[in-house]
A and B are shown apart, each in its own frame.
Chain A
Amino acid sequence: MDILFDVLRTAIAPSTAAFALAAIGLNFHFGLTGLLNMGQAGFMLLGMYGFAISIQQGWPIWIAILVGLAAAAVFAVLLGWPTLKLRGDYLAIVTIAAAEMVRFLGRSQSLQGLTGASSGIRGSDYKAPFEELSPFPDAIVNIGPFSMHGSRSSSWWLTAVTWGIVLLCAGLFWRLANSPWGRVLKGIREDEDAVRSLGKNVYSYKMQALIIGGVIGALGGITWALGNSVQPDSMGRPTTFWLWTLLLLGGAATVFGPVLGSILFWSSLTLVKSLASAFIPSDVLAPTELEPFSLVLVGVTLMLLVVFRPQGVLGNKKELAF
């Protein structure tokens, strides 16, 4: 029973919503346009740095959010400019390299004063303005079997806000994907040259998709940071790979694919970890080995998914960017 509650708690956790947001951004890139962005974690990291550093400077919260989103937009332009004219795998290599550069810069000792180097920025340094906006009581609140703080850190307030943003962004995806603009993007995904021969500026459309997806990714980063802390190493390459896994799990190019994928991914990870720690004796699988063990399963899941069910749970096999 405890395991079941753990799984459900993970399913509604704000971090799950934050990953759903970042995956919606990735869905704009990959699902809609067919861009291989392997650096979504870099967008998330930029978003949270922009937000946290602005708050530390004493700026109001809405400016801080805008700074975080603008940082991601600028990053998208810088990335897309050299690479969107090239073949897909070049974009993959450049985005992954650029995301790693952001992480290296963030954890560099030379920027210690701004980013806190490898130890990052503590949550208490930037969470206060957001927590003050909370209408929930400043105490532990029990709703059903779940017990969370009303407004601090991973709170009911953050849960409500993040899932609200997820719904908004899913709605945005649905509207945009079914607009003339979205149809051009799908055209680019299916056959770039055909769209070009219709007189569309493919480069510009790809750039727009890259910026929108990156900005949503940054929003995911900001919401993630509100529940945790700004940590450059928590946004490394594995994070991007998890995003890909959960996007492909839920179904790329679908409205709710990323959301369902995020919920399924994190709850099954919790399930595997709790089952393993409950039933596998600790001399066979020590508690410290649980994390790598479950991540091995994630990697294998990604491989099997891509080969045997590339459309995921919700997807349509005809709508694939491969």
Chain B
Amino acid sequence: MLRAALVFVVAAVGITAILSMGGTAEAATETEAVTTVATTGGTNLLIQNLFNGIVFGLLLALASVGLSLIYGTTGLSNFAHGEMVTFGAMITYFLATPQAVSFPLLPFEFTIAWPFWIAAPVGIAIATFFGWVQDKIIWSQLRRRRVAMIQQMIVSIGLSLALVNFIQWWMGGRPVRLVTSIDPRVQYGPISVGNVTLISMAIAIVALLGVAFFLQRTRLGRATRAVSDNPALASASGIKVDSIIRIVWMMAAGLAALGGILLALYQQGIGFDDGTKLLMMMFAAVTLGGLGHPYGALVGSLIIGVVAEVSTVWLPPDLKFATALGILIIVLLVRPQGILGKAERVG
């Protein structure tokens, strides 16, 4: 935990230093005629992007912590995790929207229209239950049949394809908004941010601290880390590996749903394939932090989020995801075990 924090602080300081150097270099190359106002504008833009990056990184962390926990305890790279993010947001929309909704293949429509603050927790609960169902009917069966990990990975790809299209079928191809009110932006020094975003950040931080507390201080959390470290040994010491894995699946689904809801609030709407698009960012974050390392996902997500947003200062905004993926490939070149991962032979 201490090491994680240390590495993160060093990385954050390093990135800020590099970026501010880049910023000054850019300012210096500009002609002498440019006034100081323009330079402060540049710094403000940088700080604003840095802040946006931290917000995005926190939301990404919520989604990818589960991915990392699943990888740690079962060894599965779950390609269907992006859909869990979309599912959480969509089920909340389903419960909260004042418009008529229906299920696929059922011809009747009805209106639920719960207030958002009820719909969101219920949505997360349903998503958590979906995580339980998924592990119950798919993954635990595959583990019991001793299906190879590569096969399980391809099963998760099939599940991802099925789920994303099911969500499109169910909710339609257009992005939906969870709340209709517009979040006015407030200026805090150089940063302009909406209050909903600030509350989302607070919720994300509390949830991530909750996960850390769970892993570090509770018996179940310790058992989870034991399974993550060595399933056979954990099983021999009397830990019910299968129930731990089921709890991990539920937690992962719930956190992903929370991440999805907050993401939908942050970007003011969510489309059926937003989670699928996010999956690559999650993999980049988890690999960067160290596959399977519980805090690696957090560190990796914040770095990926900051890099993706800050890169838009210099690069075209439609390349920000490409930049983040480029970082993933470079990390695999120089440090395949990730920032926090143990150095081990991975090939």
Q: Interface of A with B (CB < 8 Å)?
A: 36, 38, 81-83, 85-90, 92-94, 96-98, 100-101, 104-105, 107-110, 237-238, 241, 244-245, 248, 283-285, 288-289, 291-293, 295-296, 298-303, 306-307, 310, 321-322
Q: Find B161's partner among A82, A97, A298 (CB 8 Å cutoff).
A: A298
Q: List 5 A-B contacts (CB under 8 A).
A: A104-B322, A241-B161, A293-B169, A295-B161, A296-B166
Known: A36-B150, A101-B322, A284-B107. A90 touches B336 (CB 8 A): yes
B329-A307 in contact (CB<8A): no
The smallest beta-carbon distance between B170 and chain A, in angstroms, is 9
On chain B, the number of residues with a Cβ less than 8 Å from chain A's Cβ atoms is 46
Known: A96-B280, A104-B321, A296-B169. A302 touches B336 (CB 8 A): no
The smallest beta-carbon distance between B71 and chain A, in angstroms, is 9
Interface: B276 (CB within 8 A): yes
A300-B336 in contact (CB<8A): no
Known: A36-B150, A289-B169, A292-B169. A283 touches B77 (CB 8 A): no
Closest residue on chain A to residue B345 by CB atoms: A87
In the complex, which residues 116-175 of chain B have their Cβ closer than 8 Å to any Cβ of chain A?
Answer: 138, 142, 145, 147-151, 153-155, 157-163, 165-166, 168-169, 173
Cα-based distance from A87 to B347 in the complex (angstroms): 4
Interface: B318 (CB within 8 A): yes
Closest residue on chain B to residue A36 by CB atoms: B150
B153-A89 in contact (CB<8A): yes
Cα-based distance from A40 to B224 in the complex (angstroms): 36
Cα-based distance from A293 to B162 in the complex (angstroms): 9
Q: Which residues of A contact B346 (CB under 8 A)?
A: 86-87, 90
Q: Which residues of A contact B115 (CB under 8 A)?
A: none
Interface: B326 (CB within 8 A): yes
What sequence of 0s and 1s flags, for each residue 96-120 of chain B, a beta carbon within 8 Å of any chain A beta carbon? 0000000011010000000000000
B150-A296 in contact (CB<8A): no
Closest residue on chain A to residue B317 by CB atoms: A109
Interface: B27 (CB within 8 A): no
Interface centre among B107, B138, B276, B319 (most CB of A within 10 A): B319
